[in-house]
């Protein structure tokens, strides 16, 4: 099962709305179940350097089917995933990437958000992920 373009656009719209509510500008990426980019939105004035980070956050969340912040916790020295951020042409292991599930609980894609603090990135990603 894959996320549809319409669902991806809805996730981006919900994420943009949350970003506006908390007064931040974000790059928002949505990938399908195969970690392929389906939709992307860059809010006016969002950092250019966060564009690639948002896409990598979405891919990381889908590759491992967990929030990127959890991957980050597991990738610390002594952790079970130590140094994993060097795999797959580079992963992002801090908050802002979340798997997206359908109504049945199946993972159909992921969202990645970057452009502010990791706390804000996660909040905005969560708004997008739960809009599906």
Sketch the domain layout of the chain as residue ranges. Answer: 5-129
Residue 108, both tokens: 């159909």
Listing DSSP states for 71-110 in one string gives HHHHTSTTSTTTTGGGSTT----SSSEEEEE-TTS-EEEE
Per-residue tokens: 3 = 């996320």
* Residue-by-residue pLDDT tens, the chain, 132 positions: 899 999 999 999 999 999 999 999 999 999 999 999 999 999 999 999 999 999 999 999 999 999 999 999 999 999 999 999 999 988 999 999 999 999 999 999 999 999 999 999 999 999 999 998
pTM, entire model: 0.95
Q: Which of the four CATH numbers 3.30.450.150, 1.10.10.10, 1.10.357.10, 3.40.50.12780 does domain 5-129 have?
A: 3.30.450.150
């Amino acid at each position: 099962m894959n996320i549809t373009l319409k669902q991806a656009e809805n996730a981006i719209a919900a994420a943009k709305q949350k970003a506006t509510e908390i007064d931040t500008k974000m790059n928002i990426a949505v990938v399908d179940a195969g970690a392929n980019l389906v939709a992307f939105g860059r809010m006016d004035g969002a950092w250019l350097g966060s564009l690639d980070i948002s896409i990598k956050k979405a891919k990381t969340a889908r590759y491992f089917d967990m929030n990127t912040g959890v991957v980050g916790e597991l990738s610390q020295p002594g952790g079970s995933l130590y140094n994993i951020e060097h795999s797959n042409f580079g992963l992002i292991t801090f908050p802002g990437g979340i798997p997206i599930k359908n109504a049945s609980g199946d993972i159909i894609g992921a969202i990645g958000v970057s452009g502010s603090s990791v706390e804000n990135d996660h909040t905005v990603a969560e708004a997008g992920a739960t809009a599906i």
